[in-house]
Amino acid sequence: DPAGRRLAVARAGRVEGFDLRQPGVPRLASSPDLSADPVESLAWSRDGRLLASGSFRRVRLRDPSTLAVVREVSEGLTGRILCVEFSADGTRLALGDGGSGLPGRVRLVDVADGRIFRSWKAHADSVFDLEYSRDGTRLLSAGGDALVKVWDPTRAEPVAVLEGHAAAVIAAAFNTNATQVVSGGIGRQLKVWGIAAREK
């Protein structure tokens, strides 16, 4: 969690929570639901009050204390949800939908009602990672098409496309003021980019 006190772990179709403050790291809770589909992604809200889990055509918002599902999103999803990310204010959830030959789509969900209110094709292959900038004005995506993209999420338009990886990019992150990006791929390289110049 953002405070570093709890740890959420996905094990096959179940989510488990652990207390990092206690000796031996005892388990706090285990999700009452056990899905046949593996949990592919997890993300904490910035205030630690919600935990999102993504699996095949399904995203669940959970109460971290019990791991019970408080809201589920499934309508409109088409593939594996390999990444989920809350906005800084906790009102939106970004998710990467696709895989198995499908293009990677970014979908934005209203956390209050579970409605997908914006969706667009972001990559030619799976979306492996997403991150909001701290001010919420930019969204970063890493794709199986070897591209890193910086988006304006209000218009679903790319602000920058960063090319230089030779294979799938599976992780990416902003620096504190979203002027730079670091990305890592299966080519076993880390690259640091300046967004304005679009240069490594």
* pLDDT tens per residue across span 4-20: 999 999 998 999 999 99
* pLDDT tens per residue across span 109-162: 999 999 999 999 999 999 999 999 999 999 999 999 999 999 999 999 999 999
Contacts of 24 (CB under 8 A, 6+ apart): none
| CA geometry: angle 121, 111, 55, nearest 5 deg | 60
Contacts of 101 (CB under 8 A, 6+ apart): none
3-state class percentages of the chain: helix first, strand second, coil last, to nearest 5: 0, 55, 45
* pLDDT tens per residue across span 39-52: 999 999 999 999 99
pLDDT for the residue 114: 95
Q: Rounded to an integer, what distance in angstroms lies between the CA atom of residue 149 and that of residue 41?
A: 20
| CA geometry: angle 164, 104, 97, nearest 5 deg | 135
